[in-house]
Amino acid sequence: MIWQPINLTEVCPSQTTLTACSPLGYIYLNLLVQLYGGSRYKRLETDDKEPDDDKEPDDAKDEYDFIVVGAGSAGCVVANRLSNNTNWKVLLLEEGPEQPDITLAPGFSTALLGSNILMSYTTEPNGKSCLARPEGRCSWTRGRVMGGSSSVNSMSYIRGNRVDYDGWAALGNDGWSYKDVLPFFKKSERNEDIEFLDRRYHGVTGEQYVSSYSYVDKPSLMATKGFIEIGLPLVDFNGPQQEGASQAQAFANSGERVSTNTAFIQPIIYKRKNLTVKRNSEGIQIHFDKNKKACGITYMQNEKKLTAFARKEVIVSAGTINSPKLLMLSGIGPRNHLEKLNIPIIQDLAVGENLQDHVSFSGVTFTLSNKTATTVSEEEVLQSVKDYVEMKIKRGPLSGNGPLSTIGFIKTDKDLIAPDIQYHFGHISDLEEYVDDVLTAEQVPIFPTPFYDALLLRMMNLVPKSRGVLLLNESNPLGSPLLYPNYLGDESDIIPLLKGMKFILSLENTEAFRSNGAHLVRKVLPACKDYEWGTDEYFICMVRAYTVTTYHYAGTCKMGPKWDKKAVLDNQLRVYGVCGLRVIDSSMMPVVTRGNTNAPSIMIGERGVDFIIKYWRDNNKAYCVEAH
């Protein structure tokens, strides 16, 4: 399969003057397809043929000990650890294709948006958020490729705060305190910067590379210095203290992205004969025997409906959106909802509830002076694309991710036990175009992240009180589910964002920003034209009108003790009321962690699969978990 970028003809308005919609945009994307559209890994290992993808199952002989559904941030870890036991036969199903080369260059991360290795969704309106967007709906995406969202995200390595995990344990989830999970963070981690870090908090022998970017530009360093000037200490976010600022480490090595596919699956796929990977294979129904034991799965591959069988367990690692979808299609979910869809009920559980995300918003920008901006000519952009592919050791701007690694965490109240706001910066390749048409510009941010003339400030509420829900689409249950994130449903979620905004505006007055000619753009955006820029009323309008996701979806298959009627999973991630079925991904989070969710998802994979390995070491019969 060849990577296909966003179709500019479909998304660009007819009268737009955006550079992304000009001939340069088409030339640039076409060049990316030519140079990076395939997979060098696939070419080297399989002579351009993906193994097993077209292999027809041999009826009942297509049987495995474990079936893992979803090769994303957690699923790749689970499949790797299970297949390490040569006595166990493991099947890994992935809805998307092999990871294309376009994903490897950090600077191309925005070019992935709208492409064929992502699934795009729109949320359902609630009248309180996303108000400036078409029909009041925000855009959501997730990875649909080997490695899942770890192959397409912005790569920041943030674990969350220790109080997040201690909070999970306090809710009745034994084995999930910070002390319990730290060894599993370290187990996966191969940190290339360990000489600068506290070894008590980091691992160096795992499969998952973590390092600083090999290229950090001047505006990024300026922003970090600005944070320090206004009182934030320089910290390792994954060490003893989260509150502070730094250039975050990334899931990268030697100037390239390292997804969980790169780290955990590609090195073993042809060495372990007991591991079968089926790409382009979407799980659509888990099967249960008369004792309610998960015994197999039906999946779609190349428009064919196929079935595989599991002797021991089915593990669902399809993510916060697809894991609850698959459970509900299989009869595990809210009784009233499934009855409307005529889906036979296996177990009545609160699947799809407890949906969470770190709400944020667009529109606050810092312009950069000519001496600080990193913009280059059209010819130089295209030349940088050609140069990167030819480098044996990846260096230069495209080996970095522009300002995206510049991160700060603050407490908006000194009495808080942990930060409640996270800051990060996006790039704006042409500020004038952006402020003239924010909504269209955000649809086509295709140019490399290292080349820009303005910073887009993003802050996120790390502790949202609002909770949403995910439901199957009654008109097409197999299609995109209905997403109700309910952003700002609890109006108190605005308070940390307002406090965080007052703090961050002072960056403009720092020596770091003044000496580099960086200052706030005080242009009132159209949806908030009735308010004065800089007032609380203006920023409240901005939050409600220009709401955006931070792609930190979590919680739709909640882990909790038996007495928690909203819990779907027990503390070993086993589904209540059935046998031989677990969910291992970020959908298990009772409360979303403070920060980016990729690192926690990898840890969840490690923690979850450890439960599996220890169970089958001591037992030879599938477990069953009592219903509520």
Residue 265 lies in a domain: yes
| Residue 410 falls inside a structural domain | no
* Helix axes of 23-36 and 378-390: crossing angle, nearest 10 degrees: 0
Q: Residue 269: CB partners within 8 Å, gap ≥ 6?
A: 45, 51, 275, 277
What is the sign of the dihedral through the CA atoms of 363, 369, 370 and 374? Answer: negative
* Residue 264 scores a pLDDT above 60: yes
Q: Is 358 an active-site residue? A: no
**In contact, 202 and 189? CB cutoff 8 Å:** yes
- Per-residue pLDDT, averaged over 431-458, amounts to 92
Q: In this structure, is residue 236 part of a structural domain?
A: no
Q: Distance (Å, rounded) from C-alpha 474 to C-alpha 35?
A: 42
Which residues are CB-contacts of 22 (< 8 A; sequence separation ≥ 6)? Answer: none
Task: Note the pLDDT tens digit of each residue in 195-229.
Answer: 999 999 999 999 999 999 999 999 999 999 999 99
Q: How many domains does the chain have?
A: 1
Give me the half-sphere count of Cα atoms (radius 13 Å) on the Cβ side of residue 613.
17
Identify whether 217 is part of a domain. no
Is 314 part of any known ligand binding site? no
pLDDT at 53 over 90: no
Confidence label for 392 from pLDDT (cuts 50, 70 and 90): confident
Domain extent at residue 331: 44-99+145-206+261-356+469-478+559-628
Q: What is the pLDDT of residue 627?
A: 93
For residue 266, give every residue at least 6 positions away whose Cβ sits within 8 Å of its Cβ, in sequence order, or none. Answer: 41
Q: 57 versus 287: which is more confidently predicted? A: 287
Strand partners for 143: 118
Cα(278)–Cα(71) distance, integer angstroms:
10
CA distance 450 to 347: 50
Question: Would you say residue 379 lies in a domain?
Answer: no
The answer to whether residue 52 scores a pLDDT higher than 70 is no
For residue 284, what are the contacts with CB-CB under 8 A and spacing of at least 6? 298, 299, 300, 305, 326, 329, 478
**For 566-625, how does the pLDDT look when each residue is reduced to its tens digit (9 = 90+)?**
999 999 999 999 999 999 999 999 999 999 999 999 999 999 999 999 999 999 998 999
| Mean pLDDT of the region 394-404 | 94
CATH number at residue 598: 3.50.50.60
If we measure between CA atoms, which residue out of 162, 166, 267 comes closest to residue 209? Answer: 267
Lowest mean pLDDT among 47-61, 158-172, 402-416, 493-507: 47-61
> Residue 24: exposed, middle, or buried by beta-carbon count in 10 A (0-12, 13-18, 19+)?
middle
Which of 420, 501, 419, 516 is CA-nearest to residue 457?
A: 501
pLDDT > 90? residue 279: yes
Token couple for 443? 């649809």
Q: How remote is the C-alpha of 487 from its chain's centroid? A: 18
> What one-character-per-residue DSSP string does 133-178 give?
SGGG--EEEEE-STTGGGGTS--B-----HHHHHHHHHTT-TT-SH
First to last CA, the chain: 45
Model confidence at 345: pLDDT above 80: yes
Give the integer Cα–Cα distance in Å for 151 and 153.
Answer: 6
* Distance in angstroms (rounded) separating the CA atoms of residues 157 and 141: 20
| Residue 525, in any domain of the structure | no
Catalytic residue among 202, 287, 358, 552: 552
> Residue 34, SS3?
helix
Does residue 313 lie within any of the structural domains?
A: yes
User: Residue 58 — very low, low, confident or very high, per pLDDT cuts 50/70/90?
Assistant: low
Q: What angle do CA 300, 338, 590 make, to 5 degrees?
A: 85
Structure tokens at 298: 């039906």
Whole-number Å distance between alpha carbons of 202 and 239: 8
CA atoms within 13 A on the CB side of 343: 30
Work out the number of other CB atoms within 10 angstroms of the CB of residue 382: 15
What integer best gives the mean pLDDT of the chain?
95
In a domain, 178, yes or no: yes
Asked if 361 and 426 touch (Cβ cutoff 8 Å), the reply is no
- Asked if residue 47 has pLDDT above 70, the reply is no
What whole-number distance in Å separates Cα of residue 96 and Cα of residue 323?
Answer: 15
Beta-strand (E) ranges in 48-95? 63-69, 90-93
Question: What's the pTM value of the predicted model, to 2 decimals?
Answer: 0.96
At residue 138, what are phi and psi to the nearest 5 degrees? -90, 160
Q: What is the pLDDT of residue 2?
A: 87
Size (the chain), residues: 628
Angstrom distance (rounded) from CA 328 to CA 563: 22
Give the residue-averaged pLDDT of 457-485: 97
Q: Residue 628 burial (CB < 10 Å; 0-12/13-18/19+)?
A: middle
Alpha carbon separation from 430 to 205, 423, 433 (Å, rounded):
42, 21, 6
**Average pLDDT estimate for 355-365:** 96
Q: Using CA atoms, how far apart are residues 237 and 243, in angstroms rounded to an integer? A: 7
- Span 410-436, average pLDDT: 95
In order, the DSSP letters of 422-467 are: EEEEEEES-HHHHHH-HHHHHH---S-TT--SEEEEEEEESS----
Per-residue pLDDT averaged across 538-565, rounded?
Answer: 97
Cα 418 from Cα 398, distance rounded (Å):
34
User: Which whole number is the average pLDDT over 529-553?
Assistant: 97
